[in-house]
Amino acid sequence: MLIIKIFVINPGSTSTKLAVFSGKNLVWEINIEHSSQQIEKFKRIIDQLEWRKDEILKELGKAGFKLKDFKAVVARGGLLDPIPGGTYHIDKEMVKDLRQGKNVEHASNLAGIIAYDLGQEYGIPAYTVDPVAVDEFKPVARLSGLPGLPRRCQSHALNLKAIARKTASELNLKLEECNLIGIHLGGGISVAAIEKGKIIDVNNANQGGPYSPERVGTLPTYDLADYIYREQPEENSFKKRLNGKGGLMAYLGTSDAREVEERIKAGNRKAELAYHGMIYQIGKEIGAMAAVLEGDVQAIFITGGIANSKYVVEGVKEMIDFIAPVKIYPGAEEMNHLAAGALRVLRGKEKARIYTEERGKLSGSQ
């Protein structure tokens, strides 16, 4: 079988992950860490585009790879209009929405733009797989209490779906045969009700649910409205405060969970309270998703970078292990899953979807 080489790009809030796959096999990867001082030089996330692209090309060149040798470049999915899950061509219309930050600015938006630019320059296809905008909500889950402001399905869909498949396999079940609650713990936090393989409800990791290392989570609406009218904050800086400088960063001046735990060990009560507040809200959200699934839950899985923290995992488990068995998968499956999605298309096992065609199928979601 012809060996297919794939380049994977996955920007996060404070890092950029890169990987090269030969078929299904990982042959090279790197995680480029970005300091808060570097990030804060840029007023908007889109302003980071050329800097991040240069960093990517520098590391790829240092590793001895040439873009012309790849059969595809695949990018982490950004915040697009609601679409079903699957592998998508990155085209001009998708790039337009990513550049504008149409559905919220996030570092993941940069991936598709960079992949598209590189694909155009070197004549190779660019794809994205199970982007943040994957929408499989039931109609009732969209209701917010205010017409015109529906709940939107935005989550760490890529990792949630990958780990859901792994969890089902370990239960000796098909994904379509079980109900799971999936929790992704990273700079943002997603807690999802996964019914027969579909994410039927999830907190919007950018706008609600538990506060996280960088994001505010659900806020008291009257107090928020009062604050905005009283202080009249500048729009972009205020949005960055909500998504980037909220949560642990707002309380403690750091989004590094390891640093917070060191402070707790040293007896810092403020750090302990803020950390326990995050754990408390995660557990509470898991309980809500158990209700969505009417208590029919075969397993709960916890994944993402902070799943490496015994402190957080044990704290959450104490609250929720009465619901179902809890499985822990530290880190993320994102790079493998992105490569696998592109590989399915390149080998003819799956047809790549078209963004402009698929978003129109979810007319009830907006």
pLDDT, tens digit (0-9, with 9 covering 90-100), for 197-244:
999 999 998 899 999 999 999 999 999 999 999 999 999 899 989 998
DSSP character string of 190-243 = EEEEEETTEEEEE--TTTSSS--SSB--S--HHHHHHHHHHH---HHHHHHHHB
Cβ-contact 129, 158 below 8 angstroms: yes
Number of H helices, E strands in the chain: 13, 11
pLDDT at 2 (0 to 100): 65
Q: Given pLDDT bands bounded at 50, 70 and 90, which one contains residue 365? A: very low
196's CB contacts (< 8 A; 6+ apart) are 175, 176, 177, 178, 179
Q: In the predicted model, what is the mean pLDDT of residues 138-161?
A: 91
User: In this structure, what token pair is assigned to residue 311?
Assistant: 């402190």
Answer for the pair 12, 187: CB distance below 8 angstroms, yes or no: yes
Q: Which range has the worst mean pLDDT, 86-95, 151-160, 194-203, 251-260? A: 151-160
CA–CA dist 163, 11 (Å, integer): 20
The yes-or-no verdict on residue 360 having pLDDT over 70 is: no
| 146 CB neighbour count, 10 Å cutoff | 8
* Mean local confidence (pLDDT), 85-94: 93
Percent of the chain at pLDDT above 70? Answer: 98
Nearest to 5 by CA among 339, 338, 335: 339
The mean pLDDT of 189-196, rounded to a whole number, is 96
Average pLDDT over residues 237-262: 95
Q: How many whole angstroms separate alpha carbon 250 and alpha carbon 151?
A: 25
Helix (H, G, I), strand (E, B) or coil at 112: helix
Predicted structure pTM score: 0.80
16 versus 3: the higher-pLDDT residue is 16
Whether 17 shows a pLDDT value over 80: the answer reads yes
Q: Report residue 354 CA to chain centroid gap.
A: 21
Q: For the purposes of burial, counting CB atoms within 10 Å of the CB of 122, is it exposed (0-12), middle (13-18) or buried (19 or more)?
A: middle
pLDDT tier at 366 (50, 70, 90 boundaries)? very low
Average pLDDT value for residue range 158-173: 93
Give the model's pLDDT for residue 1: 54
Of 155-169, 314-328, 350-364, where does mean pLDDT reach its minimum? 350-364
- pLDDT number for residue 251: 98
DSSP-derived secondary structure for 260-316: HHHHHHTT-HHHHHHHHHHHHHHHHHHHHHHHHTTT--SEEEEEEGGGG-HHHHHHH
Least confident of 5-14, 270-279, 284-293: 5-14
Cα–Cα separations (whole angstroms), residue 57 to 13, 53, 71, 115, 126: 19, 6, 17, 11, 16
Residue range 277-309, pLDDT digits in tens: 999 999 999 999 999 999 999 999 999 999 999
* pLDDT for res 37: 81
Residue 362's pLDDT is: 59
Is the pLDDT at 271 greater than 60? The verdict is: yes
Averaged confidence pLDDT in the chain: 92
